[in-house]
Amino acid sequence: MSKAKYIVEGGSSNRPPFFDGSDYYFWKNKIQLFLKSQDTRMWRIITDGDFTPRVDQNDSNSALKKEVDWTADDKAKVLLNSKAQLFLSCALSREESERVDECTTAKEVWDTLQTHHEGTRHVKENGIDIGIRKFELFEMQEGETIDEMYSRFTTIVNEMRSLGKAYTVQERVRKIMRCRPIIWRPMVTFGNDDQA
């Protein structure tokens, strides 16, 4: 049985996209969009860590507020901590959930998944090097349709963007134009007047 090319589930504004350990780069983009759509502040919980109410919110060394002193805004932000972790938890298959069982914050869950699927910074840099090589050597395969070729190309470009290496539209177009089969390249023809 072959793996599905894309995540089988349809999109939902209420349920996070499912992740079973495959197609990480595809899922990563979907879950980022999903979390940002739930609350504009939720993505900061993932990147910066849990919101913690403090007496002086501008001073990270300030004393923690007692829960009875929390404002409505504090409560809403703390609730985002739990929601972010819940959404990530609901998005994961059993195997992926077991990988992050000991994580106590949404940021820890995200960082653990990212390290496992993208690797450390060194592994990520190697991934970029491999991706650049794939991009440079990319060609249309014999018997491949335009749609199949473009799908393979888009996968390479998206994986590179997820690793932090983005190609401009001009670079992508030039690459596609260079990898066309010879029979598709323009031919020079001469009319009857040009023949002598």
- The answer on 113 and 34 residing in a single domain is yes
Per the CB < 8 A criterion, the answer to whether 81 and 106 are in contact is yes
| Domain interval for residue 113 | 24-118
At 4, give phi and psi (nearest 5°). -65, 145
* Distance (Å, whole) CA 79 – CA 22: 30
Predicted local distance difference test score (pLDDT) of residue 57: 83
- The answer on 77 and 89 residing in a single domain is yes
Residue 59 domain-assigned (yes or no): yes
- The answer on 142 and 67 residing in a single domain is no
Long-range contacts of 121-124 (CB under 8 A, 24+ apart): 124/163, 124/164
Closest CA to 44 of 77, 13, 75: 77
pLDDT at 193 over 80: no
* Distance (Å, whole) CA 23 – CA 151: 14
Closest CA to 31 of 45, 47, 15, 51: 15
Distances (CA, A) of 41 to 26, 44, 45, 59, 80: 22, 6, 7, 19, 8
Closest CA to 51 of 73, 81, 72: 81
Tell which of 118, 135, 160 closes a domain: 118
- The answer on 85 and 67 residing in a single domain is yes
Quickly state the pLDDT bin for 182 (edges 50, 70, 90).
Answer: low
Mean pLDDT throughout 57-84?
90
pLDDT at 5 over 60: no
Distances (CA, A) of 59 to 52, 55, 62, 116: 11, 9, 5, 33
Predicted local distance difference test score (pLDDT) of residue 82: 93
Q: What is the pLDDT of residues 116-126, one digit of tens each?
A: 887 777 777 88
* Distance (Å, whole) CA 196 – CA 190: 11
Mean pLDDT throughout 160-177?
87
Percent of the chain with pLDDT over 70: 85
Residue 68 domain-assigned (yes or no): yes
- The answer on 147 and 96 residing in a single domain is no
Predicted local distance difference test score (pLDDT) of residue 183: 61
Predicted local distance difference test score (pLDDT) of residue 6: 44
Tell which of 118, 135, 167 closes a domain: 118
Q: What is the pLDDT of residues 89-145, one digit of tens each?
A: 999 999 999 999 999 999 999 999 988 887 777 777 888 888 899 999 998 888 888
Pick 4 or 14 by higher pLDDT. 14
Mean pLDDT of the chain: 84
- The answer on 83 and 32 residing in a single domain is yes
Tell which of 71, 91, 118 closes a domain: 118
pLDDT at 155 over 80: yes
